[in-house]
């Protein structure tokens, strides 16, 4: 009773095709695929700069770089 047979899934597929049509389902699939692809690319890009930043960042300010706390002290 918990699982559906192949016939149940076939009927559901036919009903979905009749309601939405093949063109709209194809567009939804393309949009979903491009969204997933873009998400994966952005996840890869976000990992790469953080690794480079960790390697170059030593914790010391560079020459001419203003630290937020120093700027607040000089204004007071």
Summarised one tens digit per residue, pLDDT across range 1-59 is 567 899 999 999 999 999 989 889 899 999 999 999 999 999 888 876 555 555 555 55
Output helix, strand, coil percentages for the chain, rounded to the nearest 5: 75, 0, 25
Determine the pLDDT at residue 67: 62
Where are the chain's structural domains? 22-54
3-class DSSP assignment, residue 39:
helix
Q: Quote the pLDDT of residue 3.
A: 79
Helix (H) or strand (E) holding 64: none
pLDDT at residue 1 in the model: 52
Higher pLDDT, 68 or 16: 16
| SS3 category, 67 | coil
Q: Under a CB-based contact definition with an 8 Å cutoff, are residues 17 and 25 in contact?
A: yes
Whether 71 has a pLDDT exceeding 60, the answer reads no
């Amino acid at each position: 009773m918990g699982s559906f047979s192949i016939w149940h899934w076939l009927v559901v597929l036919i009903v979905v095709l009749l309601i939405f049509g093949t063109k709209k389902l194809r567009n939804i699939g393309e949009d979903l695929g491009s969204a997933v692809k873009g998400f994966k690319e952005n996840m890869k890009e976000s990992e790469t700069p953080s690794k480079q930043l960790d390697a170059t960042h030593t914790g010391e300010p560079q020459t001419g770089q203003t630290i937020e706390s120093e700027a607040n002290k000089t204004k007071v």
